[in-house]
Amino acid sequence: MKHLSEYRDFDATKKYLDEIHKITTREWNIMEICGGQTHSLVKNGILELLPEKVRMIHGPGCPVCVTPLNLIDKAIELLEKGVIVCSFGDMIRVPGSKKSLLEAKAVGGDLRILYSPLEAVSIAKQNPDKEVVFFAVGFETTAPANALSVLHAEKEGLNNYTILASHVLVPPAMEAILGDKLCTIDAFLGAGHVCAIMGMQEYYPLVEKYKIPIVITGFEPLDLVQGIYMAVKQLEEGIYILENQYSRVVKEHGNEAAIAVIQKVFEVGAREWRGIGEIPNSGYVIKEAYRKYDAEAKFNISHIKVPENPHCIAGEILRGIKKPNQCDQFGKACKPANPLGAPMVSSEGACAAYYHFSTH
Amino acid sequence: MENTGFETINLGHGSGGELTRNLLDKVIFNTFSNPFLDQKHDGAIVEVHSKIAISTDSFVITPIFFKGGNIGELAVNGTVNDVAMCGAIPKYLSLAFIIEEGLKMMEFEKIVASVKKAADKSGVLIITGDTKVVERGKGDKIFINTTGFGQVHPKANISVHNIKAGDKILVNGFIAQHGMAIMSEREGLEFESDLVSDTTNLNFLVKDLLDAFGEKIKLFRDPTRGGLGTVLHEIANDISKGVFLKEIAIPLEKQVAAACEMLGLDPMYVANEGVFLVVVDPSIETEVLALMQNHEKGINAALIGEITQEHPNKVVMESLIGGKRIVSPLVGEQLPRIC
């Protein structure tokens, strides 16, 4: 893991930070889309090393944070029905309307924490008399593996494996943010890993339509300061183009094999975003041909709808209108051990990142 | 160890009757034989002529066998180290098993042998114990509780309240090894690595430090569950002072760092079994570091930070690139991230 040292190098990072200080003449609001970038900015203390005039606004790219509350209640309902529910780790502590998956596990639910949906297919194979559901949340990044799990289940002839899918897409979310009249964003750091899958094509129209610089950026400190430098440079020069800071990973057309797998199983449809609401064409839904692998279709859970906690301002946080420490509940009624909303749970959530790492 | 004639442990081995006696005689008593245990009383009778330190711990790890050790040596080292952290010389251990019926006798014997080996290495005697067997499904193969007794070192004055701003914080070696070794063998997470648990006894290094520096050593702590981050946070809170760390100084082995990256875990919160931190008067920091680095249990020792008057109750770490962040306490278990 060479990247651990060379992209965390003090001198290389300082060079870009010095350049940013040198070229910044005006106030700029730059939104990093991805929660992984937020996490790295705060964890490495980058925010305080930037000029005061360069403000980072934290975007909606935390999969846990934008997964609707009712979907968590649906997963809990499945657990309580005796279904084996498999999930990525940071989903399990997010509070549903009454409890979290972790609490449902404590009273007897069979919840498995996995790193890959393909493990859930193995669990389904080993437990032919049980239903197994994978809680398939995430952005374009996790979609190929989730789709692949469906294809594996089909190949194995499994009738007891389904996914509870809540896949959301980055470009429609960026468009929703840019279309908001409260939007103050001057430039974006594009989500590097999403683009590793999907490529760069979807972002050119956004740059043109909204005349806004987008720099596809990685996650290590050096990636981030270089991405911020490239964005500030465009802003100061008054230009707007799509640039790729993360070219060691992101290619123009993305990962074509992964895209093919996604397109086989999913199609684009409307999705509800927690704290933002429904955005048209903003997510993946399972295609008709693979409907038998859709947990919502198989189990009677579609009726579950629940309201958000009225004190949580997650919507404003996710749209970059407010910072976590501008919330009245932050660090008081809302803490990682007792979160009111999802951004306080996931390590990628802006509120949790501020709570855990920020010195402010 | 003699052959018990059984391949697995059953409920009868915890009945208190013939089978229990058979198991104790053939596996326990002849392994740990010493004048205190051989009295075969309900308890052990020992003489004590100094202040004593007592510590108890229960071990419930999964899997029970892992690279670098098993639950048996963990149960000895864990408690030996807890006693040592009090500034004491560990002398005696109690040893209690709760076994789930169906455990293979061979596995039990292997664990007992490891207990013996670890006890011998740290110079402690097993002087009393207990064995219970629970029905299948009521336990997780085997749980072990040990209680340790040690004589407090005559020159020791270990207390968090002796710590002053300016005191230095050192660790004896690489962090996060144990937790990542266990993770690498957990069901569903298996990944190929050479990671081994760092479980070991720290009592002799602790004794050497106390012999040499006495009261200038303010505190020993072993950051087991919750890791280094959680323990440092506890210290800051206990004394209403700050802790300042430099990320670059924290000893982290490359493979462990890579595994943490891959699984999305922060090594500051990963469990350790052979690591301790020591808070010392700034006048002796260089000598303490030299002593530790010359000891087999402290070859990779490092000075990682200091106690500050600033930012009371908070642990602040300077990142590799010179930024600052808070190291907050761990809330629940560390959860792997989605992407």
| A141 CB-near residues (< 8 Å, 6+ apart) | A191, A193, A194, A196, A197, B339
Are residues B199 and B288 both part of a single domain? yes
What are the structural domains, with CATH classification, of chain A? 65-169+254-298 (3.40.50.11740)
State both tokens at B202: 């720290």
Pairing of the two strands A111-113 and A266-273? unpaired
Read off the pLDDT of residues B263-274 as tens digits, 9 standing for 90 and up: 888 999 999 999
* B-chain residues near A355 (CB < 8 A): 328
Chain B residue numbers touching A42 (CB-CB < 8 A): 325
Interface contact B320-A355, CB threshold 8 A: no
Q: Is residue B46 part of a domain?
A: yes
Cα separation values, B71 from B57, B61, B194, B199, Å: 12, 7, 19, 10
pLDDT at B188: 61
Greatest Cα-to-Cα distance within chain B, rounded to the nearest angstrom:
67
* Three-state secondary structure readout of chain A: CCHHHHCCCHHHHHHHHHHHHHHCCCCEEEEEEEHHHHHHHHHCCCHHHCCCCEEEEEEEECHHHHCCHHHHHHHHHHHHCCCEEEECHHHCCCECCCCEHHHHHHCCCCEEECCCHHHHHHHHHHCCCCCEEEEEEECCCCHHHHHHHHHHHHHHCCCCEEEEEEEECHHHHHHHHHHCCCCCCCEEEEEHHHHHHHCCHHHHHHHHHHCCCEEEECCCHHHHHHHHHHHHHHHHHCCCCEEECCCCCCCCCCCHHHHHHHHHHEEEEEEEECCCEEEEEEEEEECHHHHHHEHHHHCCCCCCCCCCCCCCCHHHHHCCCCCHHHCCCECCCEECCECCCHHHCCCCCHHHHHHHHCCC
Distance from the A222 Cα atom to the nearest Cα atom in chain B, whole angstroms: 9
Compute the average pLDDT of residues B26-54: 92
The structure tokens listed for A358 are 């920020």
- The beta-carbon neighbor of A4 closest among B257, B311, B336 is B257
Of the candidates B319, B322, B331, the beta carbon closest to that of A337 is on B331
A177-227 pLDDT per residue, tens: 898 888 889 999 999 999 999 999 999 999 999 999 999 999 999 999 999
Q: Assign residue B127 the CATH number of its domain.
A: 3.30.1330.10
Main-chain dihedrals φ then ψ at residue A339, nearest 5 degrees: -75, 140
Query: Looking at the complex, does the CB of residue A4 fall below 8 Å from at least one CB of chain B?
Result: yes
- For residues B55-83, give the mean pLDDT: 95
Q: Do A347 and B338 touch (CB under 8 A)?
A: no
Alpha-carbon distance of A311 to A351, in angstroms, equals: 14
Q: Is residue B96 part of a domain?
A: yes
Q: B82 and B137: one domain?
A: yes
Question: What are A269-294's pLDDT values in tens digits?
Answer: 999 888 778 889 999 999 999 999 99
The reply to whether B72 and B190 lie within a common domain is no
C-alpha angle A262-A265-A267 in degrees, rounded to nearest 5 = 80
**Residue A138 near chain B (CB below 8 Å):** yes
Enumerate the residues of chain A whose CB falls inside 8 A of the CB of residue B326: 356-359
Instruction: List, as one string, the DSSP characters of B101-123.
Output: TT-BHHHHHHHHHHHHHHHHHHT
Q: A74 and chain B: CB distance < 8 Å anywhere?
A: no
Measured in angstroms, the CA of B161 and the nearest CA of chain A are apart by 26
Q: Do B78 and B24 share a structural domain? A: yes
Expressed as residue numbers, the domain containing B39 is 11-152
Position B4 in a domain: no
* N-to-C CA span, chain B: 50
Average pLDDT, chain A: 92
| Average pLDDT, integer, range A290-304 | 92
Contacts of B143 (CB under 8 A, 6+ apart): B58, B59, B60, B97, B98, B99
B309 and B184 both lie in a single domain: yes
Give the residue from B237, B225, B214 showing the smallest Cα distance to B275: B225
With a CB cutoff of 8 Å and minimum separation 6, the contacts of A234 are A187, A213, A215, A240, A241, A243
Q: Can you tell me the mean pLDDT for B47-62?
A: 93
Residue B30: inside a domain, yes or no?
yes
At residue B209's C-alpha, the angle toward residues B205 and B212, to 5°, is: 135
Are B70 and B117 contacting, i.e. CB atoms less than 8 angstroms apart?
Answer: no
Query: Rounded distance, CA A295 to CA A131, Å?
Result: 10
Q: Which residue of B257, B323, B335 is in closest CB contact with A48?
A: B323
What is the pLDDT at residue B319?
A: 94
Q: Which residues of B touch A193 (CB under 8 A)?
A: 339
What is the count of structural domains for chain B? 2
Asked whether the beta carbons of residue A114 and residue B188 sit closer than 8 angstroms, the reply is: yes
pLDDT in tens, A219-269: 999 999 999 999 999 999 999 999 999 999 999 999 999 999 999 999 999
Closest chain A residue to B264, measured at CA: A347
Residues B21 and B122 in one domain: yes
Are A89 and B336 within 8 A, CB to CB? Answer: yes
> What's the whole-number mean pLDDT along residues A36-57?
93
Nearest CB neighbour to A64, from listed B314, B322, B338: B338
Are B175 and B198 within one domain? yes
pLDDT (mean) for A141-167: 96
What is the token pair recorded at B228? Answer: 């280094």
Minimum CA–CA partner of A220 in chain B:
B321
B102/B193 same-domain check: no
> Which residues make beta-bridge pairs with A244?
A216
> Is A119 close to B188, i.e. CB distance below 8 A?
yes
**What does each C-alpha distance from A232 to A8, A221, A236 come to in angstroms?**
21, 16, 6
Domain identity same for B164 and B147: no
For the ranges A7-21, A343-357, B84-98, the lowest mean pLDDT is seen at A343-357
Q: Is B101 in the same domain as B243? A: no
pTM: 0.87
Q: Residue A274: what pLDDT?
A: 81
Judge if B239 and B316 occupy the same domain. Answer: yes
pLDDT in tens, A106-121: 999 999 998 889 999 9
Q: Say which CATH number the domain at B263 has.
A: 3.90.650.10
ipTM rounded to 2 decimals: 0.81
Strand duo B69-70 + B88-100: pairing: unpaired
Residue B41: is its pLDDT beyond 90?
Answer: no
Buried/exposed code over A292-309 (b: 16+ C-beta within 10 A; e: otherwise): ebbbbebbebeebeeebb
At position A43, the amino acid (one-letter code) is: K
| Residue B339 with chain A: CB contacts under 8 Å | 36, 63, 138-139, 141-142, 193
